[in-house]
Structure 1
Amino acid sequence: MDKIWKVKQQGDSNVIKHLSAALNVNMVIANLLAQRGVTSFNEAKSFFRPKLSDLHDPFLMKDMDKAVERLEQAINNQEKVLIYGDYDVDGTTSVALMYQFLRTRIKDLDYYIPDRYSEGYGISPRSIEFASAEKFSLVIVLDCGIKAVDKIQQAKEKGIDFIICDHHNPDHIIPNAVAVLDPKRPDCDYPYKELSGCGVGFKLLQAYTQKNDVPVVELYDLLDLVVVSIASDIVPVTGENRVLAHYGLKKLNSNPSLGLRTIIRFSGLDGQHISVSDIVFKIGPRLNASGRIEHGKKSVEILVVTDEEQSTRLGDEINSYNEIRKTLDRDITQEALDMIAHDPIQAERNATVLYNRDWHKGVVGIVASRLTEHYYRPTVILTESNGLATGSARSVKDFDLYEAIGQCSDLLESYGGHMYAAGLTMKIDNIPAFTRRFEEIVRNSITDSQQSEILEADAKIQLSEITPKFYRILKQFEPFGPHNMTPLFMTENVLDSGTSRCVGRNMEHLKLDLVEPTGNSSIFPAIAFNQASHYEAISQGLPFDILYSIAENEFRGKTNLQLYIRDISAKIY
C-alpha cells in the first residue's frame, strides 16, 4: 500500500523568527517549537527545562478534599483498605504506586486486579463480594470506575466506601462514591485533562503529602511508575505529563525500583539510556503480558517486590509470558493475513471482520492493530469466550470506529471504547449480519483520504543541516510521545554513495550511505527497515526522496548519528 507524504503546516513566521533570535537556534528548530505551541522564550524555557514546581495544585481537582479526608480517616483509624486497578500497564502501575506509598501507613492493606477473562474490565461484582467478605471498609479504585454507577451503589449498600481515581470520559451520571477524581468530569475545573490513571493516583498522593507535610522526596521516588504509565497508555506528553515523564525517566535511568530494574534487565536495556519508546516497545509489553496470558496481579507483585531473589523469579515468569504473547501474536496475525489473502472478497472490502473460535482473547487487540497497519482499514478481530464472540476493533486516522460499531448495537451484547479502539461482544450467530452491516457502514462513510496512510513530516530539510548541534537541541525535545512525537523530516533528491546494501536475516532491510547531489562530501548513514524492495532502484544511482527521523547509533564503542528512514520515494501532495 502506497503511503502519502504531507508536510505539516508550518508555524507562524513571526513567532519562528522571534524564537530563532531569542533562543539562538536555527529556523527549523524554531519552527518545531512553534508547531508544538511554544511561542515565547519563557514557554521554551518551560518546555526544555520542566520543573516539578510547575505541577498544578492537586486540590484544584474536584473532590480532592473529600478524597484526602477519607484517606486520612482510613490511616488514622487503621482501616482495612483495598487498592483496585485495571489489568493493563496503567492500572497495575497505579496500584503499585498507591500500594508502595500506603504500605508503611496502613497495616491491613491489599490490592485486587480483576481477571481479564472471567471478570473483564472495570469494577466487577466478584470484587465487591470479595471486599465485603474480607471486611474492607475503603476501596481506592485506579484507572477505572468512572462509569460504575450501579456497582458503587451496591458496594455502598454493603458499607464499603470508594475513592475513584480515573481519567476516562464519564457518562451523564457520576458514581455516588465518597470522592470521584477525574479531570475529565464536566464539573471539574482542573487545568490539565490528560493525566494517565496513575497520574490521577499521583495527584491524590501529592495532595495528601501537601496537607500532611510529608517530604516530597517520598512521592517523587515513585515517578518511575508514573512515566511507565504515561508511555504505555499513550496519553499526550504535554503539560503535567511532560513534567512527570521528564522526572520519571530520570528516576528510571538512575535508580529504578527493584521490580522495574528487573524488568529493565529482562528487556535487554541494562546500561542503556531508557526512553519513552523503550517503555512502549519493551517494558510495557512485558507488564501487559501477565494480564494477557496469566493474571495482571503478577505485574503488581513485581512492581512492589522488595526481595531480589523473588524479583528475579517474577521477572523470569513475566518474561516467559511475554514470549508466549509474542508467539501467539505472530502466529495469529499470520493466520489472519492468510485468511484475507485466500478470500477474494476480502480484498475488495473497506473493512476487515475476522472470527476464529480458537484465537487467544488476550492478543486479539494486538492482531487488530497489526492488520489495521497492514491493510489500513477499520478492523475487527473476534474469538469465542464463554459461548459468545468477543474481540477488539481498531481504526484508521479520523474514522470514528466507536460510532460505526454503535450503529450495529442491536446485533451486540455489549461494546465500549472510543474513536480509534473498541471492544465488543455478540452472539456467534450474529457475526455474518454484523460483518455485512459494518462493511456497509464503513463503505458509505469512510473518505478517500481515510483509506491511505498519511505520513506527516514536521519540516523539509537538507542533509547538510543535520549537525551535532542540531541533534543536541533536538534531543532536548524529549520525552517524545503523542502531541510531541519524534520529529520526522523530509529530504528530496538524495543519492546512494555506492556502498548501500541489503541486511537482515532475510535481507529485508536496507543499510544506506547517503549523500547530497550538491557536492557536499559528507556521508549520512541510514537504516530502512523492511524496505529492501527499493534496493534495485537505489543502486542504479538515481536520486530519491526520504522521510526519516534522526537518532544516535552506537557500534563498537563509537556513537554516530543515523537516519531512521520511515519511507522512500513516496507520493507527495
Structure 2
Amino acid sequence: GFYLFSSLKSHLQKNGYFANNNIPLPDLRHVLDLVALGTVADVVKLDQNNRILISEGIRRIRAKQCAPGILALLEISKRQAETLQASDLGFSVAPRLNAAGRLSDISRGIKCLLTDDMNDARRYAQELEAFNQKRRIEQERIQLEAEAIVKAQEVSESKFALSLFDPSWHEGIVGIVAGKLKEMHHCPCAVFAKSGDCLKGSIRSIPSVHIKDLLDLVDRQNPGLILKFGGHAMAAGLSIKPEDFWHFKRAFSKAIKQHLDAKIPTVELLTDGEPEAFDISLDNAQLLADSGPWGQGFEEPIFYGNFEIVEQRVVGEKHLKCRLKLMGDTRIHDAIAFFQAPLDTKQVTVAYKLSINTWRGATNLQLMVEQISASE
C-alpha cells in the first residue's frame, strides 16, 4: 500500500497535479508509523525494504512523531515509546486494535489511529483495552473447553489433526485458539464457531503441511463439503454446513495423515548455538535490540544452554518467572517463560532470547524462554 501511494504521488507530481491545483506536496514520512504497525501486526515477511520502512516508522514513534492513537495504546499497555521495539507493536498494540474487530466493530480501532487529539486517542484506547480484556477472558474460556474436548478424544484422533466446534464459541476468537492449540499439539488445528446458518472455521498449520493446498485436496475429494475457503501455507479460513462438521473432521484428518505418510510430525526448534557464559550479557542484549527490527523471515536469534533453576514462581497469567544459573558459571540470570508450568527438576535445557527488562528505573538482562525442559 505504501509503495502504491508513493508511486501515485510521483506520477501526480510529474504530471503537475499538485502544482496546478495549489496542493502541498504530500510527505509520506508522516504515515511510516502506520506502515510499521501494519507490517508487524500482519506478520509480513521482513525483506530488506520492509525492514527499512519499519525501522523508520519505529524511529518516528520513538520521537513521538506519530499518530496519538499509537502513543495512547503504548501508554495503556505500559510500554515506553522511547524504547519501542517491533515486538511491542506485535504483542501490545496490535492485539488491542484487533480486539474490537474480533468482538464488535473494528471502527473503534480505526478512529483511534486517525484522531489527531490525544484526549480522544486515550478515550479510544480505553475502549480498546476493555475489548481486549473481554477477548482474553473469552479466549481463555474457549481454550479450556477446547482442551477438554481434545482430552476426551482418543489419542489417535489428535495425532495428525484437530477439528473442534462448540456453538457457544465466538467466531472472532477461534483463530487465536487454533494457533494456541497448534503450538501445544504440533499438528494442524481447525476451530469452528457458529455464524448464521454456517460454521466458520479458522485453521492454523505446521511447516510440513501447506494448509491451503490441503484444503484444495479435501475440496476435490469431497465436492460440496466446503462451501468456501481461502488462505495460505500456514493459515486458512473456511465455511461448512453445521451438519457436515463430522464429515469434514474425518476428511481433514485423513488428508493430513496421507500427506504426512502416517508419520507423526516432529517438533524442531532451530537455535543459533550455545554462547559462552560471558556472551550472556546486557551489552549483547542491547546490541541485538539495536540490530532489529526482527520478525517474520528475519527472526531474532535464539540460543540454548544447560542451566540450573535457582528459583521459580508463577506470575500473572500462568507465566513462569525464574532465576537461572548457567552450568559452570556463578552468575544468576532472570528469566521468564510464558504459559509455562513450574518444573519439578533443577537441571534444565533452555532455548532463549536475550532481552532487556526495565522496571522502576532499573535496566537488567532478562532471558526470554522459548523452550525449557529437563536436561537429559
- TM-score with structure 1 length normalisation? 0.59
CA-to-aligned-CA distance 1:13-68 (integer Å, 9 cap, x gap): xxxxxxxxxxxxxxxxxxxxxxxxxxxxxxxxxxxxxxxxxxxxxxxxxxxxxxxx
1:341–1:347 Cα contact (<8 Å) kept: no
* Corresponding residue to 2:288 among 467, 471, 474: 474
- 1:242 maps to 2:51: yes
* Corresponding residue to 1:225 among 34, 37, 44: 34
CA-to-aligned-CA distance 1:227-267 (integer Å, 9 cap, x gap): 00110011122211010000000111212212222222222
After superposition, the Cα gap between the structure-2 partners of 1:464 and 1:566, relative to the gap in structure 1 and judged at 3 Å, is same
After superposition, the Cα gap between the structure-2 partners of 1:513 and 1:249, relative to the gap in structure 1 and judged at 3 Å, is same
Match of 2:232 in 1: 418
Which stretch has the larger CA shift, 550-559 or 236-245? 550-559
Within 5 A, what are the aligned runs for 1:169-568? Answer: 198-204=1-7, 206-207=9-10, 211=14, 218-255=27-64, 256-270=66-80, 273-344=83-154, 348-409=158-219, 410=223, 411-446=225-260, 451-491=265-305, 493-496=306-309, 499-504=310-315, 509-517=320-328, 520-534=329-343, 536-538=344-346, 542=347, 544-568=348-372
Q: Distance in 1 between matches of 2:93 and 2:138?
A: 18
1:549–1:565 Cα contact (<8 Å) kept: yes
2:308–2:327 Cα contact (<8 Å) kept: yes
Q: What SS does the corresponding residue of 1:527 show, helix, strand or coil?
A: strand
Match of 1:144 in 2: none
Q: What SS does the corresponding residue of 2:83 show, helix, strand or coil?
A: coil
CA positional deviation for 1:357: 2.2
CA positional deviation for 1:308: 3.6
Q: What SS does the corresponding residue of 2:258 show, helix, strand or coil?
A: helix
CA positional deviation for 1:412: 1.0
After superposition, the Cα gap between the structure-2 partners of 1:199 and 1:449, relative to the gap in structure 1 and judged at 3 Å, is farther
Q: Distance in 2 between matches of 1:392 and 1:335?
A: 17
CA positional deviation for 1:298: 2.3
Q: Distance in 2 between matches of 1:363 and 1:436?
A: 24
CA-to-aligned-CA distance 1:293-324 (integer Å, 9 cap, x gap): 22222222221113344333322222222222
After superposition, the Cα gap between the structure-2 partners of 1:366 and 1:254, relative to the gap in structure 1 and judged at 3 Å, is same
The amino acid across from 2:364 in the alignment is N
The amino acid across from 1:552 in the alignment is I
Which stretch has the larger CA shift, 287-296 or 207-216? 207-216
After superposition, the Cα gap between the structure-2 partners of 1:265 and 1:465, relative to the gap in structure 1 and judged at 3 Å, is closer
1:376–1:396 Cα contact (<8 Å) kept: yes
After superposition, the Cα gap between the structure-2 partners of 1:566 and 1:537, relative to the gap in structure 1 and judged at 3 Å, is same
Q: What SS does the corresponding residue of 2:45 show, helix, strand or coil?
A: coil
Q: Distance in 1 between matches of 2:182 and 2:279?
A: 35
After superposition, the Cα gap between the structure-2 partners of 1:257 and 1:340, relative to the gap in structure 1 and judged at 3 Å, is same
Q: Distance in 2 between matches of 1:556 and 1:308?
A: 25
After superposition, the Cα gap between the structure-2 partners of 1:406 and 1:270, relative to the gap in structure 1 and judged at 3 Å, is same
Q: Distance in 1 between matches of 2:80 and 2:361?
A: 16
CA positional deviation for 1:382: 1.1
Within 5 A, what are the aligned runs for 1:98-177? Answer: none
CA positional deviation for 1:571: 8.4
Q: What SS does the corresponding residue of 1:512 show, helix, strand or coil?
A: strand
The amino acid across from 2:269 in the alignment is L
CA positional deviation for 1:215: 7.7
CA positional deviation for 1:504: 2.1
The amino acid across from 2:32 in the alignment is L
Q: Distance in 2 between matches of 1:216 and 1:397?
A: 45
After superposition, the Cα gap between the structure-2 partners of 1:433 and 1:267, relative to the gap in structure 1 and judged at 3 Å, is same
Q: Distance in 2 between matches of 1:392 and 1:506?
A: 25
After superposition, the Cα gap between the structure-2 partners of 1:315 and 1:435, relative to the gap in structure 1 and judged at 3 Å, is same
CA positional deviation for 1:469: 4.5
User: Structure 1, unaligned stretches of length 5 or more?
Assistant: 1-197
CA-to-aligned-CA distance 1:263-305 (integer Å, 9 cap, x gap): 2222222455221111111111111122222222222222111
Q: Distance in 2 between matches of 1:415 and 1:506?
A: 34
Larger C-alpha radius of gyration, 1 or 2?
Answer: 1
Which stretch has the larger CA shift, 551-560 or 204-213? 204-213
2:85–2:293 Cα contact (<8 Å) kept: yes
The CA RMSD over aligned residues, in Å, is: 2.7
1:514–1:526 Cα contact (<8 Å) kept: no
Q: What SS does the corresponding residue of 2:292 show, helix, strand or coil?
A: coil
* Highest RCO, 1 vs 2 (Cα 8 Å, sep ≥ 6): 1
Q: What SS does the corresponding residue of 2:345 show, helix, strand or coil?
A: helix
CA-to-aligned-CA distance 1:465-524 (integer Å, 9 cap, x gap): 234543343223211111211110122x4445xx4232426886141131441xx54433
Match of 1:22 in 2: none
CA positional deviation for 1:384: 1.7
Of all paired residues, the percent bearing the same amino acid is 26
- The alignment covers a number of residue pairs equal to 365
2:313–2:321 Cα contact (<8 Å) kept: yes
Q: Distance in 2 between matches of 1:445 and 1:286?
A: 37
1:527–1:564 Cα contact (<8 Å) kept: yes
Match of 1:111 in 2: none
Q: Distance in 2 between matches of 1:215 and 1:227?
A: 24
Which stretch has the larger CA shift, 428-437 or 553-562? 553-562
After superposition, the Cα gap between the structure-2 partners of 1:253 and 1:450, relative to the gap in structure 1 and judged at 3 Å, is farther
Q: Distance in 2 between matches of 1:249 and 1:368?
A: 30
CA positional deviation for 1:565: 2.2
Q: Distance in 2 between matches of 1:552 and 1:309?
A: 31
